[in-house]
Amino acid sequence: MIKVLILTNSFAIGGTEAALNSLLKMMNPEEYQITVLAITKEGPLLKEVPGTVKIKQLLFTKSKYRIFVSGRKEKTDSIKTLAAKIEKKYYYFKYKQNAEKNHLYEKILEYTSPLEGEYDLLLDFHGYGYFLTAYGAECIKAKKKAMWIHDENIWWLYKVVSYLGKYDKIFCVSQAVKTSLLKNFPEYKEKAEVFYNVTDTERIKRMADDALNDERYRGNRKILTIGRMEEQKGYDVAIEAAEILKNRNIAFQWFFMGDGNLRQELEKFVKKKGLEKNIIFLGKKSNPYPYIKNCNLYVQPSRHEGYATTIFEARVLKKIIVASDIPSNREQIKTGINGYLEILKGEAFAERIEGILQGKEHTEKIIGNLENENLDFAGEMKKLDKLLKERK
């Protein structure tokens, strides 16, 4: 039995967390003895973790240090939490993070309890420059260690670059991510490898058949966009495209699913443009698949991605996709073959969406190609076996 420890931040609703759950389901419990160690052992996706997986929470000498590294926004509903937030700001000011040494993480490691025992394989799945990478490098005994990079925008890597030498492999979720990594850190050429996010396609199809009881989700021309409401996801471009479509008297309803720092700002922008009847904010959904299945068009105007999980899910459910023409999306979508890629401008998205809604595009061919796509991840899972067999 291969002992595996996987590091993650939490079990919140997000592409990285969904990808982790899919990976866990792909790992044969008769072959792998899996433990997941989370900064916070909570979130909607926790209930979907296979029962054979042991779940632990990272231990700190004091609970305030969890707040320092969790990355989540803590509600100031107590004096204790407020004090921790203030002290967190002090720590970030006093202990600098740079490419030579992350003094903040080094300090917090002093207040973190290491796990006992040794593992065959450590997977720092979360990445994103989180404290977990430092913890995995310094506090975990494992024969082999690998970390993940989930986005081609790797500005955050400086926070953990001093720990990369302790990892045997750097898995990149797309060729675009690997290219970005090696452009900035060519010295890791031998360690970098593409590992596409494995996805439980049968689960997606099964969950897509769940009843959809949402009175807001109506109309014969439903456009859907899913993602965190942050600058990366390009919701502003979607709103610009929606305004153009409305001015051209094109009937449609565009649904935004997700939440984030920019939600209130986006809602005000929609109201300012007079698009309240055309753009509907759905909030977070634990099961987005019935919405994808029942939309007429899936649109993803992201500025950058690692490997867009939502685009892949839309492919699984055979939906027409319009996405931004960025390197990672080119690995999934070929214009006119299984979807459409457009430059990141509202006008370009509006033109393509209008053509699809008005029946000017030959979408039957695309749907036929989607029906025949082979979405198999057996080759990705073999990369873990290969890593275990490689010599130090």
Q: Nearest 10 degrees: CA dihedral of 226, 229, 232, 235?
A: 70
Question: Would you say 215 and 183 are in contact if contact means Cβ atoms under 8 Å apart?
Answer: no
- Dihedral sign for Cα 338, 258, 7, 102, please: positive
pLDDT at 354 over 80: yes
Contacts by 71-79 with C-beta closer than 8 Å and gap 24+? 71/9, 71/39, 71/130, 72/10, 72/12, 72/40
For 337: left if phi > 0, alpha if psi spans -120 to 50, otherwise beta; the answer is alpha
The two tokens of residue 331 are 């690995």
Determine the pLDDT at residue 77.
62
Tokens 């299984």 belong to residue: 338
Residue 67 CB contacts under 8 Å (≥ 6 apart), including other chains: 74, 81, 84, 85, 88
Kindly indicate whether the domain formed by 202-371 is annotated with CATH number 3.40.50.2000.
yes
Cα–Cα distance, 330 to 5 (Å, whole number): 33
The two tokens of residue 289 are 């698949």
Q: What is the mean pLDDT of residues 196-223?
A: 93
Mean of per-residue pLDDT scores for the chain: 93
Determine the pLDDT at residue 96.
87
Q: What is the pLDDT of residues 129-187, one digit of tens each?
A: 999 999 999 999 999 999 999 999 899 999 999 999 999 999 999 999 999 999 999 99
Cα–Cα distance, 114 to 95 (Å, whole number): 21
Neighbours of 369 (CB within 10 A): 16
Question: Would you say 70 and 9 are in contact if contact means Cβ atoms under 8 Å apart?
Answer: yes
Selection from 43, 41, 39, 14 nearest residue 135 by Cα:
39
String of DSSP letters for 15-38:
HHHHHHHHHHHHS-TTTEEEEEEE
Per-residue burial over 313-336, b if 16 or more Cβ lie within 10 Å, else e, is bbbbbbbbbbbbebebbebbbeee
Same fold, 2-198+377-389 and 202-371: yes
Grouping H, G, I as helix, E, B as strand and the rest as coil, residue 378 is helix
- Global pTM value: 0.86
String of DSSP letters for 185-222:
-GGGTTTEEE-PPP--HHHHHHHHTS----TT---SSE
Burial of 100 (0-12, 13-18, 19+ CB in 10 A): exposed
Kind plus residue range of the DSSP H or E element containing 145 = strand 141-149
Neighbours of 249 (CB within 10 A): 6
pLDDT category, 199, cuts 50, 70, 90? Answer: confident
Residue ranges of domains in the chain: 2-198+377-389, 202-371
Q: Taking the mean position of all CA atoms in its chain, how far away is CA 51?
A: 23
Determine the pLDDT at residue 64.
86
User: Residue 335's beta-bridge partner residues?
Assistant: 339
Q: What is the pLDDT of residues 238-288, one digit of tens each?
A: 999 999 999 999 999 999 999 999 999 999 999 999 999 999 999 999 899
Residue 249 CB contacts under 8 Å (≥ 6 apart), including other chains: none
| Cα–Cα distance list, 269 to 133, 201, 235, 265, 279 (Å) | 38, 36, 10, 6, 11
Instruction: Give 46's Cβ-side CA count (13 Å radius).
Output: 16
Q: What is the pLDDT of residues 276-322, one digit of tens each?
A: 999 999 999 989 999 999 999 999 999 999 999 999 999 999 999 99
Cα–Cα distance, 237 to 241 (Å, whole number): 6
Given 3.40.50.2000, 2.40.240.10, 3.90.400.10, 3.40.50.300, which CATH number is that of 2-198+377-389? 3.40.50.2000
Neighbours of 390 (CB within 10 A): 9
pLDDT category, 52, cuts 50, 70, 90? Answer: very high
